[in-house]
């Protein structure tokens, strides 16, 4: 038996998926989830072979949920309407179902999934996340996992980002959170008028800067409202000056 998880905040939307699944005797729904929080837990617990996932859900959306899982499982999206996401689906998802959909269309999506091997679909999911994370809605907040808790950080609460091996440390007033992404990713996703890569290992929120002091020969440091000093390289200084209009 192959394991299926359905994640959708509308009960009837889940039941139609279950109904269409009845024909496929080799597939078993191991859990239904109301939101992304339950979804993260269920996926880690069951390691499903396929997930049916809605996009618009309480608190965190389907994409943000997937970002929290280290190796996201193969996913078929079921959504009502999302202009931006649809473009991403066309490129990377196994398939996506536009609600409402019929049994025939549903079977076709499952067929596509059966044809693909797992390696391929995992890579596709990663590519998909990279694409959608650049959508306007996604760049307003960062979703991270700290321990078993899920934390949603509005970008304006971010003080600065710091590279730490394979992770990025997201510093906020409440301390820092780790996210398994690259500095390059954040540099691309965040608003360049607000977040400036001041140094190879630092991205700083310019609204937090109180002053910029010279430091040693060619370098500077940016001093934040909280007193923290952020290294500024020579090229970073140029970028900062441009954004701050100096």
Partner 1 sequence: MAATPFSSLRLRIYFSISWWIFFAGQLFLERWFGLPWKDAFLDCVVSNGLLLAFCLMLMNTFRYYLPKKEQFLNVLGICVVFTTLWLLLSRWLVSTYVSYYNLHPEVLRYSVPIRFSMGLLVLGCISLISVLWSHWAEQKENEARKTDAEKLAREAELFKLRTQLQPHFLFNSLNSINALIGMKPDEARKMVQQLSDFLRGTIRKEENQFISFSEELEYLKLYLEIEKVRFGYRLKTEMDIAEESLAWKIPSLLLQPIMENAIKFGLYGTTGEVTIGLRATVADKHLVVAVMNPFDPDMQMPAGTGFGLNSVKRRLYLLFGRNDLVEINKSQNSFVVIFRIPDINA
Query: Quick check: 35 binds partner 1 (CB under 8 A)?
Result: yes
* 155 contacts: CB under 8 Å, gap ≥ 6: 139, 140, 141, 142, 190, 191, 194, 195
For partner 1, which stretch binds (CB under 8 A), given 51-59, 165-173, 175-183, 209-217? 51-59
CB 4 within 8 A of CB 48: yes
- The count of other CB atoms within 10 Å of the CB of residue 85 is 23
In the window 163-222, what residues touch partner 1 (CB under 8 A)? none
Q: Please work out the total of residues on this chain that contact partner 1, with binding judged by CB under 8 A.
A: 27
Q: Please list the residues that pair with 5 across neighbouring strands.
A: 31, 51
For partner 1, which stretch binds (CB under 8 A), given 52-60, 113-121, 205-213, 226-234? 52-60
Q: Which of 2, 19, 87, 234 binds partner 1 (CB under 8 A)?
A: 19
In the window 97-136, what residues touch partner 1 (CB under 8 A)? 98-102
Query: Quick check: 9 binds partner 1 (CB under 8 A)?
Result: yes
Overall size of the chain counted in residues: 246
Helix, strand, or coil (residue 29): strand
Task: State the Cα–Cα distance between residues 38 and 72, nearest whole angstrom.
Answer: 15
For partner 1, which stretch binds (CB under 8 A), given 3-11, 43-51, 112-120, 121-129? 3-11
Backbone angles phi, psi at 207, to 5 degrees: -70, -15
Residue number, 15 or 210, with CB nearest to partner 1: 15
Task: State the Cα–Cα distance between residues 214 and 229, nearest whole angstrom.
Answer: 12
Query: Quick check: 84 binds partner 1 (CB under 8 A)?
Result: no
Helix, strand, or coil (residue 143): strand
Residue number, 5 or 57, with CB nearest to partner 1: 57
Q: Which of 45, 134, 152, 238 binds partner 1 (CB under 8 A)?
A: 152
**Binding residues for partner 1 (CB under 8 A):** 9-13, 15-16, 19, 34-35, 37, 56-59, 80-81, 98-102, 137, 140-141, 152, 154
């Amino acid at each position: 038996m192959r394991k299926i998880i359905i994640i959708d905040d509308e009960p009837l939307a889940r039941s139609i998926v279950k109904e269409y699944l009845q024909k496929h005797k080799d597939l078993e729904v191991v859990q239904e989830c109301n939101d992304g929080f339950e979804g993260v837990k269920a996926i880690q617990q069951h390691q499903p072979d396929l997930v049916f996932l809605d996009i618009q859900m309480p608190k965190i959306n389907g994409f943000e949920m997937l970002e929290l899982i280290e190796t996201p499982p193969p996913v078929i999206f079921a959504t009502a309407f999302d202009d931006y996401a649809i473009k991403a689906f066309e490129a990377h998802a196994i398939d996506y179902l536009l609600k409402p959909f019929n049994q025939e269309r549903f079977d076709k999506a499952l067929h596509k999934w059966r044809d693909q091997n797992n390696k391929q679909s995992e890579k596709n999911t990663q590519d998909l996340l990279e694409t959608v994370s650049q959508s306007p809605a996604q760049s307003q907040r960062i979703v991270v996992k700290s321990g078993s808790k899920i934390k949603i950080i509005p970008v304006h609460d971010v003080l600065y980002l710091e590279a730490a091996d394979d992770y990025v440390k997201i510093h906020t007033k409440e301390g820092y959170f780790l996210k398994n992404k690259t500095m390059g990713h954040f540099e691309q996703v965040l608003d360049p008028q607000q977040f400036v890569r001041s140094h190879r290992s630092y991205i700083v929120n310019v609204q937090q800067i109180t002053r910029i002091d010279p430091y040693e020969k060619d370098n500077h440091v940016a001093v934040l409202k909280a007193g923290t000093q952020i290294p500024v390289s020579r090229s970073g200084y140029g970028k900062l000056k441009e954004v701050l209009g100096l």
